[in-house]
């Protein structure tokens, strides 16, 4: 259900689609998420959420939805909010030459 909800919100975003070419994107269904690994249980176990990792596979917890000051920091209700975080990730990685 959450997958369909997300698809409806982001499928028409050309900007998100263009930016996605610079990321490796993985969709894990709820039962596929590594629940026994605390690395991925940052900020709780709610879905849907987007977590950014660096080129070594390390979680980058500082990249959150800056528009959500509540405890659901990795929830993005709109494509525009995802784009904002993607741009922040790219900017940070380029400055550190991690891309």
pTM: 0.81
- b vs e for 54-92, b when ≥16 Cβ sit within 10 Å of the residue's Cβ? eeeeeeeeebbbeeeeeeebbbbeebebbbebbebbeeb
Q: What is the mean pLDDT of each run of 10 residues along the chain (99 residues)?
A: 67 89 84 70 80 90 90 90 95 74
């Amino acid at each position: 259900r959450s997958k369909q909800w997300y698809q409806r919100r982001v499928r028409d975003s050309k900007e998100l689609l263009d930016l996605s070419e610079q990321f490796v994107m993985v969709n894990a269904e709820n039962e596929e998420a590594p629940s026994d690994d605390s690395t991925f249980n940052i900020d709780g176990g709610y879905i849907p959420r987007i977590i950014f990792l660096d080129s070594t596979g390390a979680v980058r917890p500082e990249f959150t939805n800056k528009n959500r000051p509540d405890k659901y920091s990795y929830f993005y209700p709109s494509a525009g909010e995802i784009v904002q975080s993607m741009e922040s990730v790219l900017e940070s990685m380029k400055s550190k030459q991690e891309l």
